[in-house]
Amino acid sequence: MLTGKNILLIITGSIASYKSLELIRLLTKAGATVEAVLTRGGEAFITPLSVEALIGKRVHTQLWDDRSYQMNHIELSRRADLIVIAPASANIVSKLANGIADDLASSVLLARNKPVLLAPSMNVEMWENLAFQRNLKQIQADGAAYVPPQVGILACGESGIGKMAEAATIFDAVCERFKNQARLAGKTAIVTAGGTIERIDSVRYLSNFSSGKQGIAIAQSLAESGAEVQLVVGNVSTHLPSHPNITIQRVESAVNMHAAVHQALPADVFVGCAAVCDFRVSNISDKKIKKESGLELSFEENPDIAKSVGTLEPAKRPKLVIGFAAETDQLLDHAASKLASKGCDLIVANDVSDGAVFGKDQNQVHFVERETSKKLPSLSKRAVADAITNWIQERL
């Protein structure tokens, strides 16, 4: 089931650490190769020897290993196909969310280029703390997934949510993760993200409030499902993904993005999530326009990137073309119109009025197709991305 898969297991400080030993047994029995990082807190509950006896190799505890020239925090991430943190303490979640790297485990996570799956374990008050919930949302927005903890009697004697999921449940989540990774293997995708910049002069430009979060989440979801993704990204206010299946090209203007997309063709899938400016300045000044001179701008229409892909001749057109409709009124009517005019197979429509979407971690969208439309509940942008990936997989 997991033959040929390399899993890095990070064990942090929690009484639930004993369940990690059972998880190792299940993983190795299924054919996986397991390496382990045991934090100082983890060592307070289980010994390195107990882990080594099950994985058949040394456990890593130190950032710098005197017995090896290798940089552990780099090598461990590169060898792994999946990083599993079980148990995942509130502390390690905080480090992951904020980019802290003060020991081997957190340094591996900061240096990683592989997906992460967590199994949280903590006191109910820690779980419900607003700061922890912010961190949990952040790591999800960054692409990490987690196996929800259980409700019950906790080790401290209190009752509530916080018990780490059972080893068998975590094992099933690992297997599902690898199953998902193969869903789009061999497929190629082009994804656009962020806003475009249209220059006015040497210091000023026109743009919009797009953060790029939704497009980047789509690229991550497709890559983690096995697709080779060309991410064409404009102006963004979030960090770019690091995944071996993602190639990133930075662009500035709508014209630049149009050229980059067509250069990246052919592809099986195109997802036009970028917020492309409809118009560009035609009388750009190569010097700063002085206030005393006044500001008179002329505009010309930018290329419609989604339409330029959706209306290609069948031999060159991607099998699936997905566009986005960010509207402030008559959402479904505008989405249906764009679906027809742009030659798309799906329009993902969302209401962006009152700052409801741009820069946020949540999104509520409609899937508009030729015959049907479906309203999704309010979801994290990663969950919306996964829904789009599922739609793509079903049709490919």
Q: Is the dihedral of CA 179, 184, 189, 195 positive or negative?
A: negative
Whole-structure pTM value: 0.74
Place of tokens 């409709």: 325
Closest Cα partner for 352 from 212, 210, 234, 254? 210
| Per-residue pLDDT of the chain in tens (396 residues, 90 and over written 9) | 899 999 999 999 999 999 999 999 999 999 999 999 999 999 999 999 999 999 999 999 988 765 554 567 788 988 999 999 999 999 999 999 999 999 999 999 999 988 899 999 999 999 999 999 999 988 887 888 999 999 988 777 888 898 999 999 999 999 988 887 788 999 999 999 999 999 999 999 999 999 999 999 999 999 989 999 999 999 998 878 878 899 999 999 999 999 999 999 999 999 999 999 999 999 999 899 998 888 889 999 999 999 999 999 999 999 999 999 988 889 999 999 999 999 999 999 988 876 666 767 788 899 999 989 999 998 888 889 999 999 999 998
Domains and CATH numbers, the chain: 6-181 (3.40.50.1950), 188-395 (3.40.50.10300)
Residues carrying an active site annotation: 156
Neighbours of 255 (CB within 10 A): 15
Give the pairing type, strands 82-88 and 116-120.
Answer: parallel
User: What per-residue confidence (pLDDT) applies to 257?
Assistant: 98
Output the six-digit token pair for 244. 């071996």
Place of tokens 């959706």: 310
